[in-house]
Structure 1
Amino acid sequence: MTSYRRWTLRTEHTCYTVRLSPDGPWAELDAWGPPGVETGPSALDWSRRTHFITPADAAPAEYLPYGLRPFTGADLVAGRPGAERGAWWEFEGAEEGPGTLRLTFTDDLLGLRTVLCYATVPGTDVIHRWTELTCTGDEELRLERFDSAAVNVPVTAGARLTYLTGQWSQEFQRTQLTLTRGAFTMGSSQGVPGHAYAPWLAVQDAADPGDPPAYGVALEWPGNWHITAEAEPGGAVRVRAGRVPHEGLVRLAPGDTLTTPRLACAFSAEGLDGLSRVWHRYERHLTGERLHRPRKVLYNSWEATTFDVDAAAQLELAKTAADIGAELFVVDDGWFTGRADDTGGLGDWYPDPAAFPSGFDTFVADVRALGLDFGLWIEPEAVSPGSRLYADHPDWVYRIDGRPARLVRNQLLLDLGRTDVQDFVIATLDRLLTGHDISYLKWDMNRPPTERGRPGAGPADRLDLDAQHVAGYLRVLDHLRTAQPEVTVEGCAGGGGRIDHATLARTDVVWPSDNTAPLDRLAIQYGFLHAHAPHVMSSWVTDAPGVFDPRPRSLAFRFVGAMCGVLGIGADLRKWDAGQRAEAAGWIARYKEVRDVVHLGEARLLGSPLDATCGVQYDGPDARTVVAALSTGRLDGSPLVPGRPARLRLRGLDPAARYRDAASATTYSGAHLLHYGLPFTWSADHDAELVVLTRQ
């Protein structure tokens, strides 16, 4: 019989048990894993012998302030101006509700109330955690660190960390390291999650060489952030995550409450493969009722015309796109006044009369007459120094008095934390979307904030500019979702620079990378699908050559790879011959037949781009299983020398069931597909295949 209080949050496949520590006024993790794991001694329990550290430093604490935890990493660093930092709180009480828990701790001397908040997400195996900090005294508080939460993972021989790294045009590269002692940290100070790291981390026990149970966290914050994993003295690994204020601290006035971003926590007994499906289900939950609107096959004219936008050429592309089966035509950068290249025009969001001599609405109507929806690219946070907007409102950009305004991509960044700037962006989007027949909006952001200041708004260390920009960004997206619910919104930031759960909850698709080369994109999508769902992954077929892997691949390879998410085409269709267009029309028709399985089904990653054959398996809510298979390696030498077909082992099927491939008139047992796999005979002209299996 335990002498301390415990609380358990449950989902269909997991439970998360928190206890009030017997060693001090803090909460700590008792158990996290499959249902029933909370019955028995905690795997995170420890000997209670400490040397040169305190019990709080050794405990698997859910959240602790500097003061109580002085040595091994505090989640909260708070103090009054001019006084010592630190909080020494007491437990005040717990509130339980259906799937929720709130644990309150108070420090009356400091004047701080801290509430640790927990909530299960219905229909998923995700648990949200966040923290509410209230200044209860009569003097303001300085918050130098205020993480969202900390999670503890018991490991036996170090932790295997899986995370997503990269750079522009090489985002979402799956990366792993083993952490036995010490700390690992990643994050962004670019005002967005960034291209270098995704705010996502998976932790497994490194002692198991296979794919052992996996724990994951993802931070819901489209601004500055960090995730830090520390291998602690007792052998466990503790992960902390939260936002990072640009100014280094936040001041909390008497009576005010700061709420941290939510940290989504997930577990799967089926390893990284199972964990990816937990995240996919969660993101389908975030999409809500919009999930069941088909993601239309788009054509985007950027790679065909770049800035050289004129109605005649765009309509020529639109007609060809419609002929091969596209459902949506998107005009990218270059449609507005002053935009001959990337040096001007941003901020002056009016169609260029020279580009559309018969009028923009006539052009849109002509596109729609082809049976296509119409979409438009915009970069609402950006402004060109030569624009009318900048001439009228030079104070709207981030700047520091007396310092040069640095140009990135020949542009400056609007201070979206200002209400007047938010109002301008909202009015601009409303004008475009209500004044013209636009059903798709691509929101881009191509430069991070550099000289991030707001002169005249008071002392810089009292401005929480990062949080204000995030709040403005989310306010605009929330307005879009309410005012224009039928408009499909795509999120982009120079590719995959701003992809997090706050953005995904308010957009329909996101653009993982500007790199559309076939083998490069395969590696990007492989990492992306570990963390994010297929129905949000916009992917184009283009003629782009490889940047990092220049080996040529067929048009079929490009289509099958792009069909693993939301299919788009970005090639210059005017350069495709009749055979290429006919092949494209065939692939698009096949995609339309299976996209509901791809977007709504359970996805399994089969192998990796490092394997000679890899793919993605989608098990639909009906009787269909779709397999996208791709050849990345050398051929087997047939027919000149003996060779056997490549095999791709499927997973999750019923061994006793029968599955029929109507295209090849072949029937397989589930046992055959699980044990031997689907056969593929690759050749130089046949390097990709889409197989649809129907359970008999």
Structure 2
Amino acid sequence: MSDAGNGAQWTLRGAHSEYTVAVPEHGRWLELVAWGPQGVSEGPSPVEYRGPVPFLTAGDAAPIEYATDAARPFTGADLVVETAVGDRRVSFSYVDAEGDGGRLAVTFADPVTGLRAVLHYQVPAGTDVVRRWVELTNAGSEPLRLVRAGSAGFCVPTAHGARLSYQWGQWAQEFQLDHVDLEHGGFTVGSAQGVPGHAYVPWLAVRDQAEPAGSTWGVALDWTGSWEITAERDTGGLTRVRAGRRLVDGSLDLPPGGRLTLPAVTGAYSPDGLDGLARVWHRYQRQLAGGRLTPRPVLYNSWEATYFAVDAENQLALARIAAEIGVETFVVDDGWFVGRNDDTGGLGDWTPDPAKFPAGFDTFIKEVRALGLNFGLWVEPECVNPRSKLYAEHPDWVYAIQGRPLTPIRNQYLLDLGRPEVAEFVHSTVDRLLRRHDIGYLKWDFNRPRTEPGRGWAAGTGAGGRVDLDGAHVANLHRIYEQLRRDHPHVLIEACAGGGARTDLAMAARADVFWPSDNTGPLDRLAIQYGFLHANAPHLLSSWVTDSPGLFDPRPRSLAFRFVLAMAGVLGIGADIRHWAPDQRTEAASWIARYKEIRNVITHGTVHLIGDPGHPRCAVQYTSPDADTVVVLAWHTGRLDGTGLLPSRPVRLPLAGIDPAGVYRHGEQRYSGSHLTAVGLPVRWTAEHDAELVVLRRA
């Protein structure tokens, strides 16, 4: 790392990668030198360009790390700042830098407006990600307005065209992995809903079209509000990815002396394609979990069995059966509180319904825990029904525009969590539930986006300037999660938003598990989980065995298929087990026992994704940290092609990352590592046998 004024260069090193940046001699910006495997910066930069730029500026073609509209006036800036008189084109000059091999902070300043920007970099030890964020300070005497407030630009060499991988979806069809080839021009995904949303995941992967299984770069956003990721490939073969907030409420005010830290964006690198990139993300998210990274309990959730018709009798009937088959945590979902007989009432009034629990809520919880079960509860504390005591007392607490009607979604309104009194109510409500009752698991839901961009008749939105509603809501949400985890460390928190509408790296650092979709149909869920595992580690994947057919693919699948599918992450059950026959309960108990034997490998193991749900090969491999145990979960999704009637051979699942000279045993069968890698693990499907759990142990 060298720093001798303009022309300085710094290298941040990860476990197997490096990220090198430099300030050119002119000192107007920081630019990328190289990003890839260790040693990649020793040689001519793969992204540098110093040639002519007709009808453009030098910055429009340069690999700038963080660009104002003065640096990149035509090809896309990260930051656009406006003065009080409407002038733009803030232009930075290098000031100084400090850091070491894992951290870097580079300061730039604009001499005209006084705006200072500190570009922060961090490579967490043992990972191959670079986390970036920007701290802006108005050191001038006049107010500034941020018209665009992106967090970072990442530059990727794509000489033969860019292949972008992204995840699209909708409610009940989240995390659908797809790809687009970008020869020229741009591609954008994002959300304006105040949450990451169902439509797209704040995650993008970039590869060169000529090397789809080779070097792959990823970008993911640490932001739980509205966001945007844009990839643009220029005529010179450079793909630049811009990521950050989408300012749905208009520009942000930065008064004199004001300071604003923009959301972090994390970049990742792997030499091994999308599959390798997934492992980079997994390793990082496991580090985010820290000491909370432990195998999750097998849970039962009552939603699909009873819906809103919750009462002590039916919940205890479910809990008794759940305990018999080996479940460890029993979660009562929506419908437990006063006024909650359907989705038109009750939200905001978080008091257990005495009519549903006539012996008392705590007595009910004790009965559940007497079965050997931990107890969990569903909440949706950011929302309120018009038919509630809370709304009658505080109608001004919801997002509203003065003189305009409110927009109900799912018969509910959204509380303005950015207001201190609302944040205090939400925190104190959940905190009080956890202190008063013996609760060890919390499912925090969020079932509607924000529609009204205002505080209605509330004071404080006039002379004080614009209110950053999105930023305030997200900041308080994160703060409440952090407070609850600090004060109730034994409580596991599941993040849900009508399914998978609130999954991002910021939540991965604050929640213990994600609910990726309300769709629990087996084949639909297989596609959802396949996409999810490309961006998220298995300890974040909550999955249930249910009786539900799929919405998009209703083909029936065996109980074995549904259990093996749910074992790919955190095993749960959501079926109405009161109606399961004795042989089904016996089979379920066997699968749960087998899961408990392997869940440590699922939680901590190295993951390889084999094939995909549209391919005859569809499996996930988990290899234990000591490489002595290999768990393979496999599913049959397609045709049988005359199996048992015509000549056929088993499907072969090629395994990866195992010792080719090793010997692995499954029951009485022995395999060499070379055989498993080159030929593959055989699985033979029949009409009755549509899923397989194989545990290989090194002999």
How would you bin the TM-score normalised by the shorter chain?
Answer: over 0.9
Secondary structure of 1:95 counterpart? strand
Q: Which amino acid aligns with 1:168?
A: W
Aligned-pair distance for 1:613? Answer: 2.9
Q: Which amino acid aligns with 2:36?
A: G
- Specify which of 661, 665, 669 is matched with residue 656 of structure 1: 661
8 Å CA contact 2:78–2:152 kept in 1: the answer is yes
Mapping for residues 90-101 of structure 1, pairs under 5 Å: 90-101=93-104
2:292 partner amino acid: R
* Among 280, 283, 287, the residue aligned to 2:289: 287
Write the deviation string for residues 389-419 of structure 1: whole angstroms up to 9, x where unpaired: 0011111111111100111000000000011
Distance in 2 separating the partners of 1:502 and 1:449: 19
1:25 matches 2:28? yes
- Correspondence for 2:483: 479
Q: Give 1:377 shift.
A: 0.1
* Change in 2 beyond 3 A, CA 1:23/1:57: farther
Map 1:202-221 onto structure 2 (within 5 A): 202-208=205-211, 210-221=212-223
Separation in structure 1 between the aligned mates of residue 282 and residue 465 of structure 2, nearest angstrom: 39
* Comparing 76-85 and 480-489, the one that deviates more: 76-85
2:110 corresponds to: 107
* Corresponding residue of 2:469: 465
- Give the letter aligned to residue 653 of structure 1: I
Q: Is contact 1:24–1:56 with CA below 8 Å preserved after alignment?
A: no
Query: Offset at 1:233?
Result: 3.0
- Number of the residue aligned with 2:43: 40
CA distance in 2, matches of 1:43, 1:570: 51
* 1:25-78 Cα deviation digits (max 9, x unpaired): 111110110011010011112242110001011101111111222111111100
User: How much is the aligned-residue C-alpha RMSD, in angstroms?
Assistant: 1.3
Q: Secondary structure at 2:578's aligned position in 1? A: helix
SS in 2 for 1:147: strand
1:461 is displaced (CA, Å) by: 5.8
Structure 2 residue 613 is matched with structure 1 residue 612: no
In structure 1, distance between residues paired with 2:132 and 2:197: 23
SS of the residue 1:148 aligns to: strand
Per-residue CA shift, 1:404-438, capped at 9, x if unaligned? Answer: 01110000000000111111111111211111111
Q: Does 1:564 align with 2:531?
A: no
Output the amino acid matched with 1:498: R
1:52 to 2:70 alignment: no
CA contact (8 A) 1:613 1:633 kept: no
Q: What is the match of residue 582 of structure 1?
A: 586
Aligned partner of 2:175 among 157, 172, 180: 172
> Which amino acid is 1:285 matched to?
Q
Deviations for 1:630-671, whole angstroms, at most 9, x for unmatched residues? Answer: 111111423222211111111111111000002xx1000001
The equivalences for 1:514-553 within 5 A come to: 514-553=518-557
Q: Residues 434-462 of structure 1: CA distance to partner in whole angstroms, max 9, x if unpaired? A: 11111000000000011121132223961
* More deviation, 165-174/424-433: 424-433
1:497 is displaced (CA, Å) by 0.3
Identify the residue that residue 336 of structure 1 maps to in structure 2: 337
Instruction: Give the superposition deviation at 1:245.
Output: 2.3
CA contact (8 A) 2:9 2:21 kept: yes
Q: Is the 8 A contact 1:217 1:266 kept in 2?
A: yes
Gaps of 5+ in 1: none
Equivalent residues in 2 for 1:658-677 (5 A)? 658-662=663-667, 665-677=668-680
Contact 1:636/1:644 (8 A) holds in 2 = no
Given that 1:228 and 1:240 are in contact with CA atoms closer than 8 Å, whether structure 2 keeps it comes out as yes
- Contact between 2:215 and 2:273, CA under 8 Å: does it hold in 1? yes
Q: How far did 1:136 drift? A: 0.9
Instruction: Kindly provide the amino acid, as one letter, of the partner of residue 91 in structure 1.
Output: Y
Which deviates the most, 231-240 or 18-27? 18-27
Alpha-carbon contact 2:27-2:94 (below 8 Å) kept: no
The match for 2:595 among 584, 591, 596 is 591
Q: Is the 8 A contact 1:246 1:464 kept in 2?
A: no
In structure 2, what is the equivalent of residue 252 of structure 1? 254
Aligned partner of 2:403: which letter? G
CA distance in 1, matches of 2:411, 2:383: 10
Question: Which 5+ residue runs of structure 2 have no aligned equivalent?
Answer: none
Please tell me the residue identity of whatever aligns with 1:424: F
Are 1:688 and 2:691 matched, yes or no? yes
Structure 1 residue 560: deviation in Å?
A: 0.4
Residue number in structure 2 paired with 1:275: 277
SS at match of 1:115: strand
- 2:111 corresponds to which letter in structure 1? D
Q: Contact (CA 8 Å) 2:654, 2:680: kept in 1 or not?
A: yes
Instruction: Pick one of 59, 64, 75 that aligns with 1:61.
Output: 64
Name the structure 1 match of 2:187. Answer: 184
TM-score, scaled relative to structure 2: 0.98
Alignment match, 2:682: 679
For 1:395, give the aligned amino acid.
D
SS across alignment from 1:197: coil
**One-letter amino acid matched to 1:670:** G
On the 8 A contact 1:75/1:240 being kept in 2, the answer is: yes
- Partners of 2:554 and 2:14 in 1: CA distance: 45
Shift of 1:24: 5.2
Return the letter of the residue paired with 1:85. Answer: R
Structure 1 residues 87, 50: CA separation in 2 closer, same or farther (over 3 Å shift)? same
State the distance in 2 between where 1:492 and 1:309 align.
20
Q: Per-residue deviation at 1:23?
A: 5.4
Please, which moves more after superposition, 114-123 or 631-640?
631-640
Match of residue 388 from structure 2? 387
Residues in 2 aligned to 1:447 and 1:453: alpha-carbon distance in whole angstroms: 16
Pick from 645, 649, 655: which aligns with 1:644? 649
Give how far 1:83 is off. 2.9
1:168-213 CA-partner distances (Å, limit 9, x unpaired):
00000001001111011110010000000000000000123x4121
Aligned partner of 2:200 in structure 1 is 197
1:65-120 per-position Cα deviation (integer Å, ceiling 9, x unaligned): 11222111111100212231111221111112341111111112112111111111
How far residue 507 of structure 1 moved from its aligned partner, in angstroms, is: 1.0
Amino acid at match of 1:686: H
What is the alpha-carbon distance in structure 2 between the residues aligned to residue 478 and residue 4 of structure 1? Answer: 41
**CA deviation map 1:327-377 (0-9, x unaligned):** 010000000000010000000000000000111011000001111000000
Counterpart amino acid of residue 677 in structure 1: G
Q: Name the residue aligned to 2:429.
A: 428
Pick from 247, 263, 266: which aligns with 2:265? Answer: 263
**Residues 68-147 of structure 1: pairs in structure 2 closer than 5 A:** 68-147=71-150
Give the Cα separation in 2 of the matches to 1:128 and 1:295: 27
* Contact 1:249/1:461, CA 8 A, preserved across alignment: no
Which amino acid is 1:376 matched to?
Answer: L
The amino acid of 2:125's aligned partner reads P
Give the aligned partner of residue 14 of structure 2. 11
Question: 1:140: how far off?
Answer: 0.8
**Aligned residue for 2:307?**
306
| Structure 1 segments (4+ residues) deviating >3 Å | none
| Equivalent position amino acid for 1:275 in 2 | L
Distance 2:680 2:659 in 1: 13
Contact 2:11 2:101 in 1 (8 A): no
Which residue of structure 1 aligns with residue 397 of structure 2? 396
Letter in 2 for 1:319: R
Aligned counterparts of 1:427 and 1:104: Cα–Cα separation in 2: 40
Query: Residues 58 and 233 of structure 1 are in contact (CA less than 8 Å); yes or no, is this contact kept in structure 2?
Result: no
3-state SS of 2:171 partner? coil
| Secondary structure of 2:543's aligned partner | strand
Which residue identity does 2:434 align to in structure 1? Answer: L
TM-score (norm 1): 0.98
Residues 213-265 of structure 1 deviation map (CA, whole Å, 9 limit, x = unaligned): 10001100000100000012322000000012232200001111111111111
Which moves more between the two structures, 18-27 or 4-13? 18-27
| Cα deviation, residue 142, structure 1 | 0.5
